[in-house]
Amino acid sequence: MDRRVDAGRRLGQAHAPQRRARAREQRVRGGYEPGWASLDDNNITPTDTNLATCSPFSTWTNAASTQETLPIDCINWWEAYAFCIWDGGFLPSEAEWEYAAAGGSQQREFPWGSTDPGMGNQYAIYGDGDGNCYYPSGSLAPCSGVSNIAPVGTATSGAGLFGQLDLSGNMWQWNLDWHDPSYAPCTDCADTTITDSRVFRGGLFNYRESYLLPPSRLYGPPATRNVYAGIRCARTP
């Protein structure tokens, strides 16, 4: 079987989306949508309590501690979207994310190339998909908590063609698009037709190797708040 084809996986229960449709097919000043809709305000609830609901894998702490370099998890889609706006960027579309992860026209097997990721955590942070992790020991052991999530940039050999780290493994990353099971890579586009789910890309610290491949997808309701729900913001060059 071709490892580059890995069907999207559904997580969570379906919920009727609350977001207003604002479909736009072309990028305009770094975004497919004209701005924040006030009707989404009630979906922004990154409280200490909510961000701790992924324990023992929650990376958020309500005071500075040893977890400041870990990727955030347990955030919903609206919080990811709003944070990227606040930070001066935008949530990437699937097309943009996959372009970066596959190295553009090079269409790499992994973001870093064709080298097998191995077990030493130098290329990507992942596991076997059966509750075991390679990080931090370098050998398979039961995933037990936040210690199995690596600080951002740990996998230094896993950089993509354009220099981004952590495109594969460690934490799934929300994308702009609504989920479409018939998705195919495209140029300068995003799926803004409302469905019941948004898309994640990137793999996770305890997911198997096949999810490190650039075409791999995950999807769930935008209200999803779970250990796999992380974020990557993009910026216009």
- The HSE-up count of residue 44 (CA atoms within 13 Å, CB side) is 12
Q: Tell me what pLDDT residue 35 has.
A: 65
Give the separation between CA 70 and CA 1, rounded to whole angstroms: 34
- Domain borders along the chain are 1-15+24-237
Assign domain 1-15+24-237 to its CATH architecture: Alpha-Beta Complex (3.90)
pLDDT of residue 7: 31
| Residues of the chain under the 50 pLDDT cut | 1-31
Read off the pTM.
0.85
The residues near 232 (Cβ < 8 Å, ≥ 6 apart) are 92, 97, 166, 173, 174, 202
* pLDDT number for residue 204: 98
The pLDDT, as a whole number, for residue 74 is 97
pLDDT of residue 40: 86
Query: Cα–Cα distance between 178 and 221 in angstroms, integer?
Result: 9
